[in-house]
Chain A
């Protein structure tokens, strides 16, 4: 399937792969009792990572077309809240999820349409929508968690579908990989992917060739909205409740993961495989450091250091290419 010349190959950035392997080897060797490679630890990574990972994949695609989305830590609990409300109304959880998908799409669409119509930096626009929806969700829920266990329990298949396991393999991991593959196909093998690269690389050129760049950007926001529904539902089913602080800090972690994945903040450069690895790196770093008894609340310091290092390396590589 790989053909030289496709954007998958052209934008492939070997440094992410090397870094990933190096970090994994490091943790395998240096964690106490080689705990990192312990199957229980791997399962826990596979269970927890997709919460952030699924949304971050969409953020990566959006950043290739040159925009940001900071609103996800509000969209995720908002979707999760509506999910809980629907369950309380006695709606079947699978149906509730289906009802939520268009809601997520609309939330993404609102972000997108404001960004393209005002022409203002998406950083500001999505910062505003993040705060707006956060206020809405806090006041609607009074920040009180809503337990949904009793609504989910009668539907074991729904639970299995979102958070079950196959053997030891958490279903979340399969969803995460599945979303990565679908977005990867879209980005690298479909014409829409070409349009994303063209929009991020040279918007005027894309427009002159008849590409509706506003549509391209808005679609990316819509995809993120839908992914938020997915991540929010999955997380609340795993936690057994809606929680107003679900997804807190995800906006910056997603950007960090994507930058580690070698995506240029200026847009036009990127690769789904690298984004995927970038997310893994952030999560593996967190996990490995905790296993090595790094102070839990100080983990961000290490992530910050790693991020700066990656940004420098990527910048260096991109300059060499140019």
Chain B
């Protein structure tokens, strides 16, 4: 079967430091892959290469079987790779629908030549996508800063869905959320999975990863040290891979 995303031997160096060393991984449609590792293991650098923030020094990226050069975040977005950063993906002082349309604002013409923001359209479309994902936000005209952490995460997720994400990368989606909200976000992940979206989750919370992921990729010191099917492993084994207590079994 064709992979949604396949990366081969990706390498990134920052000066003398090799942040990511020849890492290969792949993900299918409708699959959830957990990307695990200690701080500084290279997880973030790896996903930043996929989302266009960093350019790889070596290696290839294939999206739907075709090799792609992802040289900017815009490029990644345009082919359907959306990334949710930990706490960083929303502008707090803009309202909900402006955030959903941030960088891709819908304009309309007044007096036939002046482009202005089409608030009604953006509001209506945002409402639609939130409804589709059964996300409740009191008012889309509210600024992001008045929303709870879970609501923010939901807004960020619905933005990527609205823009037709094929692959969703989530960096610590449940960090800084209350327990009930964590559960909601995880339910949302499963819902997206059932719609055929491929999802990469970075998380320190093993429980979260085990409850939604199909497969785990574990990194340590810039290298991939293991890959496990969720059904064939357990948290203990995964922890020992993360900290390097166990011999590498590729």
Q: How many A-B residue pairs have CB under 8 A?
A: 93
Smallest distance from the beta carbon of A199 to chain B beta carbons, Å?
8
Fill in one digit per residue for B176-220: 1 if any A CB lies within 8 Å of its CB, else 0.
000000000000000000000000000000000000000000000
Asked if A208 and B73 sit within 8 Å, CB to CB, the answer is yes
> Considering the complex of A and B, which 7 residue pairs feature the smallest CB-CB distances, nearest first?
A5-B141, A209-B103, A210-B74, A191-B105, A198-B91, A201-B91, A201-B93
CA distance A11 to B92 in the complex (A): 12
**B77 contacts A197, C-beta separation under 8 Å:** no
B23 within 8 A of A: no
CB–CB B73/A207 < 8 A: yes
Residue pair B93, A269 in contact (C-beta under 8 Å): yes
- In angstroms, how far is the closest chain B Cβ from the Cβ of A144? 45
Query: Is B72 an interface residue when CB atoms closer than 8 A count as contact?
Result: yes
Tell whether B97 is near chain A: CB-to-CB under 8 Å. yes
Q: How large is the interface on B (under 10, 10 to 19, 20 to 34, 35 or more residues)?
A: 20 to 34
Supplied contacts A4-B141, A204-B85, 9 more A-B pairs, CB within 8 Å? A5-B98, A7-B94, A7-B98, A190-B117, A191-B105, A200-B93, A208-B88, A211-B102, A268-B93
Distance A197 CA – B92 CA, assembled complex (angstroms): 9
> Is B107 part of the binding interface, using a Cβ–Cβ cutoff of 8 Å?
yes
Contact present for A206 and B102 (CB under 8 Å): yes
Contact yes or no, B141 A208, CB < 8 A: no
B residues near A41, Cβ cutoff 8 Å: none
A308-322 Cβ-contact flags toward B at 8 Å (1 or 0)? 000000000000011
Pairs across A and B, CB under 8 Å, 20 listed: A5-B97, A5-B119, A5-B140, A5-B141, A7-B93, A189-B116, A189-B117, A194-B105, A197-B94, A198-B91, A198-B94, A201-B92, A205-B89, A208-B53, A208-B73, A209-B77, A209-B102, A210-B103, A269-B93, A322-B145
Interface check B174, CB cutoff 8 A: no
- Size category of the A interface is 20 to 34
- Given A208-B83, A209-B73, A190 contacting B115 (CB threshold 8 A): yes
Question: Which residues of B33-53 are within 8 A (CB) of A?
Answer: 51, 53
Cα(A204)–Cα(B89), bound, Å: 7
Contact B92–A268 (Cβ < 8 Å): yes
Is the beta-carbon distance between B74 and A201 smaller than 8 angstroms?
Answer: no
* Nearest chain B residue, comparing its CB with the CB of A322: B145
Once the chains bind, are B91 and A6 in contact (CB under 8 Å)?
no
Determine if B91 and A205 form an interchain contact, defined as CB atoms under 8 angstroms apart: yes
Please tell me if the beta carbons of B88 and A205 are within 8 angstroms of each other in the complex.
Answer: yes
Chain A, Cβ-Cβ closest to B141: A5
Asked whether any CB of chain B lies closer than 8 Å to the CB of A202, the reply is yes
Q: Which of B110-161 contact A (CB under 8 A)?
A: 114-117, 119-120, 123, 140-141, 143, 145
